[in-house]
Amino acid sequence: MDFINQMEPWFDDNEANAVHHYMLSGGWVTEFKKTREFEQQIAQFTGAKYCSVLANGTVTLITALVACDVAPGDEVIVPDYTMVATPNAAEILGAKAVFVDVERDTLCMDFDAMRRAVTPKTKAVMLVTVNGRYPRDIERFVSFCKERRIWLIEDAAQSLGSRYNGKHLGRFGDIGSFSFSAPKVITTGQGGALITDNDELIDRIRKVRDFGRERGGVDHYLVKGWNFKFTDIQAVIGIEQMKKLAWRVERKKAIGKLYDKLLAGIPQVELLPTDYENTSPWFFDILVDDRARLQEFLKEKGIGAREFYPPLHAEPVYGRDGHYPVTEEMARKGLWLPSSSSLTDEQVEYVCSMIRAFYRT
Ligand SMILES: Cc1ncc(COP(=O)(O)O)c(C=O)c1O
């Protein structure tokens, strides 16, 4: 059996043919009609009124914060457990990322911890729907932020295809953000999208991504903006990837259920609860005490695995004090198993049999 990567992008002839056809059609490669078509597809899939696609899922977060007027001196509440792009997006604007702990069963921001962290300087909360899961109190986040006039930005980079009560994740905040980097649910190599139902916010987002221009090609600058634009060549790939999304969502759920079934009953392996009605897991996660040894053993058996994110407050880039017990425990125990939607049942069975062999159960 070939080495099973923890994650890999998945393309077939359709992407290759679409790019070939696009190049022969004389497109300018930069963003244009195909980009607008891809945006339309994402808006339709998520049920959002508007979508704007950008260069990656980090500049989407920066753009969302700029659209919400986040500036030096403001505070932005972020989970300690997330990918580093979330706090970095706030800090690059001179705002302070304020870390709070997450819920143990969902790994999403803890509502009470968030509420305790609010100060008069709080301008935005960045709620990360980690791994397609949603926080227990997602609706309380929405009503609390509305009441306090705090912007709610949902970092749904890992949540394309996941919902809560039928509503797509990314639609609970004022703005939702997605990533299309290589390991994501669908990929355009690099890329990201913002969705919103708010007319003013989409107008600002579209300006910020294009140097702050009044509109395309008009060199009159209404707001500070940069070049965060997408390209049609990525959109051509994205359009093909979108055709496979519904299938991938279901396949990920099926793989997750198979992992849960085959790993159940191993006393040393803790599985986080997953609501498969709503959640299409991006990565398949387990908690174990002897993670390093298990990871090494799996590697010897031809299986890739990846550790969870570290507690960001304590990383050298932030070096902040504080105690975030859930994030710290997750960072110690969390391991992502092979998670590509192209995994076969046989590969999942092999991974689980090797984990059983490691624990001799
Ligand atoms: C939660 C989260 N936010 C933001 C990002 C950044 O996205 P990108 O890699 O497209 O910049 C990622 C990427 O892994 C992510 O997982």
Residue-wise DSSP of 263-308: HTT-TT-EEPP--TTT---SSEEEE-SSHHHHHHHHHHTTB--EEP
Q: Which atom of ligand 1 sits closest to the CA of residue 179?
A: 10
156 alpha carbon – ligand 1 mean position (Å): 9
pLDDT in tens, 122-165: 999 999 999 999 999 999 999 999 999 999 999 999 999 999 99
Tell me the CA–centroid distance for residue 21 and ligand 1, in Å: 30
- Residue 129 neighbours by CB distance under 10 Å: 28
Residue type, 301: K
What's the gap in Å between 255 CA and the centre of ligand 1? 23
Averaged pLDDT for residues 229-241? 98
Mean pLDDT of 278-305: 98
Of ligand 1's listed atoms, the one at least distance from the Cα of 58 is: 11
Q: Are 124 and 78 in contact (CB under 8 A)?
A: no
Q: Which two tokens stand for residue 169?
A: 């994740």
The average pLDDT across 251-267 equals 97
The tens digit of pLDDT for each residue in 162-192 reads: 999 999 999 999 999 999 999 999 999 999 9
Pocket test residue of 179, 186, 309 for ligand 1, highest count of atoms within 8 A of CB = 179
Beta strands across the sheet bearing 270-271: 270-271, 284-287, 334-337, 306-307
pTM to 2 decimal places: 0.98
Q: Is the pLDDT reported for residue 319 higher than 90? A: yes
Q: Which atom of ligand 1 is nearest to the CA of 128?
A: 1
CB distance 213 to 194 below 8 Å: no
Atom of ligand 1 nearest to the CA of 130: 1
pLDDT at position 318: 98
Report d(CA 197, CA 18) in Å as an integer: 31
Query: Running DSSP on this structure, what letter comes out for residue 4?
Result: B
Residue 27's pLDDT band (boundaries 50, 70, 90)?
confident
- State the Cα–Cα distance between residues 45 and 97, nearest whole angstrom: 31
Give me the phi and psi of 273, to 5 degrees please.
-65, 140
- Confidence check: pLDDT of 216 > 90: no
Q: Give residue 82's pLDDT.
A: 98
pLDDT confidence bin for 297, thresholds 50/70/90: very high
First to last CA, the chain: 23
pLDDT band at 206 (very low <50, low <70, confident <90, very high): very high
Q: What is the largest CA-CA distance in the chain?
A: 68
Rounded to the nearest angstrom, the distance between the alpha carbon of 96 and the centre of ligand 1 is: 19
Locate the ligand 1 atom nearest the alpha carbon of residue 56 and give its number: 10
What percentage of the chain has pLDDT greater than the value 70? 100
Q: Which atom from ligand 1 is nearest to the alpha carbon of 156?
A: 1
- The alpha carbon of 313 and the centre of ligand 1 are apart by a number of angstroms equal to 17
Residue 115 has pLDDT above 90, yes or no: yes
Taking residues 109-126, report their average pLDDT: 98
Q: Span 251-262, mean pLDDT? A: 98
Mean pLDDT confidence for 285-305 = 98
pLDDT of residue 92: 98
Residue 217: per-residue pLDDT: 85
Within a 13 Å sphere around the CA of 22, how many CA atoms are in the beta-carbon half? Answer: 25
User: Percent of the chain scored above 90 by pLDDT?
Assistant: 98
Report the half-sphere exposure of 335 (CA within 13 A, side-chain side).
Answer: 23
Would you state the pLDDT for residue 237? Answer: 98
Residue 361: per-residue pLDDT: 79
Side chain identity at 2, as an amino acid letter?
D
Contact of 142 with 152, CB cutoff 8 Å: yes
> For position 244, what pLDDT does the model report?
96
**34-43 average pLDDT score:** 98
User: What atom of ligand 1 comes closest to residue 190's alpha carbon?
Assistant: 10
Kindly list the protein residues whose Cβ atom lies closer than 6 A to any atom of ligand 1: 56-58, 82-83, 85-86, 128, 155, 157-158, 179, 181, 192
CA distance 224 to 198: 20
Residue 267 CA, ligand 1 centroid: distance in Å = 33
Is 286 a residue whose pLDDT tops 90?
A: yes
The closest residue, in CA terms, to atom 14 on ligand 1 is 83
Q: Which of 82, 83, 106, 128 to mutate to test the pocket of ligand 1 (most atoms within 8 A of CB)?
A: 83
Residue 1 has pLDDT above 90, yes or no: no
- Is 66 strand, coil or helix? helix
Closest residue (by CA) to atom 8 of ligand 1? 57
What gap in Å lies between CA 123 and CA 97, rounded to an integer? 11
String of DSSP letters for 83-141: -THHHHHHHTTTPEEEEE-B-TTT-SBPHHHHHHH--TTEEEEEEE-GGG---TTHHHH
Q: What is the pLDDT of residue 315?
A: 98
Three-state SS for 15?
helix
Mean pLDDT of the region 344-357: 98
CA–centroid distance, 361 to ligand 1, in Å, is: 37
CA dihedral sign of residues 63, 67, 73, 78:
negative
Is residue 123 within 8 A of residue 95, CB to CB? The reply is yes
